[in-house]
Chain A
Amino acid sequence: MSYSNTDGIMIGLEIHVQLNRLKTKMFCGCSTQYHSSPPNTHVCPVCLGLPGALPVINQKAVESAMKVGLALNCEIVEQTQFHRKNYYYPDLPKGYQVSQFDYPIVSNGKVAIEGEDGELVIRIRRAHMEEDPGKLIHMGSIDKSKGTLIDYNRSGMALLEIVTEPDIRSPKEARRFLDKLRNILEYLDVFDSDLEGAMRVDANISLQGGDRTEIKNISSHKGAERALLYEIMRQKNLLRRGEIVTMETRHFDEARGVTTSMRSKEEEHDYRYFPEPDLVPLRVKDRTEKLLQELPELPDAKKERLISQYSISDMHAKALVSNLKIANFYEEVASEVNPKVAATWIADVLKGELNYRDLTIDACKVEDIVQLVTMIMENKITDRSAVEVIRTLLDSGGNCMEIVEKKGLVKVEDNVVEQAVDDVLGENKNAINDYLNGKEQSLNFLVGQVMKKTRGRADPMIVRDIIANRIK
């Protein structure tokens, strides 16, 4: 199958990643653990922009940025420095944001994703370090604002802005890229995606025959897909009517699922970048070897290893590595029981049940799943009962053995099934006749009766075979 991209869609993404695994901010020693703290309690002269305060670069932030670059197959720059990006908005106490301009710390990388028609390589143009602005809270409605409140706890948090080339050809590919990127960043342990504002996305999009627009304010991967779908439809409609798509910045309204015009190109800011005189240049390329050695096994490599080490399917391996904690959980389980059966139960069943409940794998204990898989392997419980055990574990806690005993899920012996079939066939002559006269559903009814007598502990497929054999 090949993807023709008849509309000539070109999408490029800019992703702001907060390096929130660091202990301190980008240029000062304020703690990054502000997420549940009162406003303006994680601030100091540097991140409040007080006169005379001097920023000093967090070494670990630089190394984290380089690690991300290496994981995205980028080149590390020989020499770089920070610039001041000037604009006046009260989320920036200094009147400028310290960012990078002509020499980003890393550039020219690439990431392979599963595209519309097989593997697609997305080129990474650059990734640069900068500081996060503070958080604004508007009082009253937007048009009748009574004032704006500012919390500078976020101000000065280390950000990495990752910019792709416009190699993405559909909203679905954009989402897959974002998922892959988040996955890699989690493996690198540079950020926690669960924290508010950990990853923010801007998207540039153009269609054949039109100019490019930039969509701001996208806060989730699903939001990115929706915003792009809407924007493609809007641009297509304009082009079909012979109108022009103008270069502009648009705002994504998450609640309504639409993009609205924010400002045209003429109103764009002129940021008047100039080198930050308070910070000296960085020459850190010589740390590359050391950082390469520190890089953990990344998702693609882990997937290949799981496939060869445990002989599991590509599909299962992919599902497992898409979440590092689940992959680690799987390996612990697989060290004690049949790895293929474990993969089926963790990737196909457990992961789905966790997602459905919005839970992480932390809600589950390795020993419970080991016991469960063992019982399935020893044919002590049916697949149906095993699913029930997982659901009960997640909903009410407890441990695997307890649940099996308490709910009476131990599979009944074959002679008990035979006995139940005898009883049911003796009690339901009409249903047997109906079935023999061609009424297929009657068989389901009979199976149901046997399941009832065995309180669901018989294997329905086997019961079905036994009954069908007995009355044909």
Chain B
Amino acid sequence: MITEEDVERISWLARIEIDSSKSKEYAEQLNSILDYFQQLEELDTSDIEPTYHVDDLVNVLRSDDIKPSFTQEEALENCENKKDGYFKVPGIM
């Protein structure tokens, strides 16, 4: 059961600001989604290996060889806020 507090905590973890008057509504919606998925619990999966990847591949590896990197200009090309070759974000601590 997702509570209103859970909704607020999840939004904090995801850094998404929500209107607290909507917490109840979101909790109900999330619960109905989880209820729907609950149907999967009816299947017996006790003898089945967990699926970590949908492909049957393993060991896709590369050798330790250097490939060209971006230039600093390329790296910062799509960034609005930059300073002295760095990405700049609001102060965080």
Q: Are B85 and A24 in contact (CB under 8 A)?
A: no
- Inter-chain contacts of B64 with A (CB < 8 A): 22-24, 58-61
- Inter-chain contacts of A145 with B (CB < 8 A): 91-93
Tell me if A408 is interfacial: C-beta within 8 Å of chain B.
Answer: no
Can you show 18 pairs from A to B with CB atoms below 8 A apart?
A23-B65, A40-B70, A40-B87, A41-B72, A43-B70, A59-B64, A61-B64, A79-B58, A88-B13, A140-B91, A146-B91, A147-B88, A147-B90, A148-B91, A150-B88, A151-B85, A151-B86, A280-B55
| 1/0 contact string of A275-292 vs chain B (CB within 8 Å) | 101011111100000000
Q: Are A277 and B53 in contact (CB under 8 A)?
A: yes
Tell me if B75 is interfacial: C-beta within 8 Å of chain A.
Answer: yes
Q: Are B58 and A149 in contact (CB under 8 A)?
A: no
Q: How far does the alpha carbon of A23 sit from the alpha carbon of B61 in the complex, in Å? A: 15
Q: Chain B residue with minimal CB distance to A284?
A: B59
- Inter-chain contacts of B70 with A (CB < 8 A): 40-41, 43-44, 48
- Inter-chain contacts of A138 with B (CB < 8 A): 91-93
Q: How far does the alpha carbon of A373 sit from the alpha carbon of B11 in the complex, in Å? A: 71
- Inter-chain contacts of B15 with A (CB < 8 A): 88
Q: Are B71 and A41 in contact (CB under 8 A)?
A: yes
- Inter-chain contacts of B91 with A (CB < 8 A): 138-140, 145-148
Contact flag A150-B92 (CB < 8 Å), given A31-B66, A38-B72: no
Q: Chain B residue with minimal CB distance to A278?
A: B53
Contact flag A142-B93 (CB < 8 Å), given A40-B85, A40-B86, A280-B58: yes
Size class of the contact patch on chain B: 35 or more
Tell me if A137 is interfacial: C-beta within 8 Å of chain B.
Answer: yes
Q: Which of B65, B70, B83 has the most CB of A within 10 A?
A: B70
Tell me if A394 is interfacial: C-beta within 8 Å of chain B.
Answer: no
Q: Chain B residue with minimal CB distance to A144?
A: B91
Q: Chain A residue with minimal CB distance to B90?
A: A147
Q: Are A280 and B89 in contact (CB under 8 A)?
A: no
Q: Chain B residue with minimal CB distance to A50?
A: B78
Q: B7: shortest Cβ distance to chain A, in Å?
A: 14
The 8 Å CB contact of B57, one of A79, A146, A277, A280, is A280
**Size of interface on A: residues with Cβ below 8 Å to B:** 55
Q: Are A149 and B61 in contact (CB under 8 A)?
A: no
Q: B91: shortest Cβ distance to chain A, in Å?
A: 3
Q: Chain B residue with minimal CB distance to A57?
A: B61
Q: How far does the alpha carbon of A151 sit from the alpha carbon of B58 in the complex, in Å? A: 33
| 1/0 contact string of A20-45 vs chain B (CB within 8 Å) | 00111000111100000011111110
Q: Are A148 and B89 in contact (CB under 8 A)?
A: yes
Contact flag A152-B93 (CB < 8 Å), given A23-B64, A283-B58: no
The 8 Å CB contact of A280, one of B60, B62, B65, B67, is B60
Q: Are A59 and B72 in contact (CB under 8 A)?
A: no
Q: A206: shortest Cβ distance to chain B, in Å?
A: 27
- Inter-chain contacts of B72 with A (CB < 8 A): 38-41
Tell me if B63 is interfacial: C-beta within 8 Å of chain A.
Answer: yes
Tell me if B36 is interfacial: C-beta within 8 Å of chain A.
Answer: no
Q: How far does the alpha carbon of A86 sit from the alpha carbon of B59 in the complex, in Å? A: 24
Q: B16: shortest Cβ distance to chain A, in Å?
A: 10
Tell me if B37 is interfacial: C-beta within 8 Å of chain A.
Answer: no
Tell me if A229 is interfacial: C-beta within 8 Å of chain B.
Answer: no
Q: Chain A residue with minimal CB distance to B81?
A: A147
Q: A54: shortest Cβ distance to chain B, in Å?
A: 10
Q: Are A59 and B53 in contact (CB under 8 A)?
A: no
- Inter-chain contacts of A322 with B (CB < 8 A): none
The 8 Å CB contact of B75, one of A24, A41, A61, A283, is A41
- Inter-chain contacts of B57 with A (CB < 8 A): 280
Tell me if A448 is interfacial: C-beta within 8 Å of chain B.
Answer: no
| 1/0 contact string of B18-50 vs chain A (CB within 8 Å) | 000000000000000000000000000000000
- Inter-chain contacts of A48 with B (CB < 8 A): 70, 75
Q: How far does the alpha carbon of A59 sit from the alpha carbon of B58 in the complex, in Å? A: 13
Q: Are A29 and B62 in contact (CB under 8 A)?
A: yes
- Inter-chain contacts of A28 with B (CB < 8 A): 67
Contact flag A43-B59 (CB < 8 Å), given A30-B67, A149-B86, A281-B53: no
Tell me if B84 is interfacial: C-beta within 8 Å of chain A.
Answer: yes
Q: How far does the alpha carbon of A100 sit from the alpha carbon of B68 in the complex, in Å? A: 27
Q: Are A57 and B66 in contact (CB under 8 A)?
A: no
Q: B63: shortest Cβ distance to chain A, in Å?
A: 6
For the complex with contacts A147-B91, A152-B75, A284-B59, 13 further pairs of A-B residues with Cβ separation under 8 Å are A24-B65, A31-B66, A39-B72, A40-B72, A41-B70, A41-B72, A44-B69, A44-B70, A87-B13, A137-B86, A142-B93, A280-B58, A283-B59
Q: How far does the alpha carbon of A88 sit from the alpha carbon of B54 in the complex, in Å? A: 27
Q: Are A150 and B86 in contact (CB under 8 A)?
A: yes
Q: How far does the alpha carbon of A269 sit from the alpha carbon of B66 in the complex, in Å? A: 35
- Inter-chain contacts of A44 with B (CB < 8 A): 67, 69-70
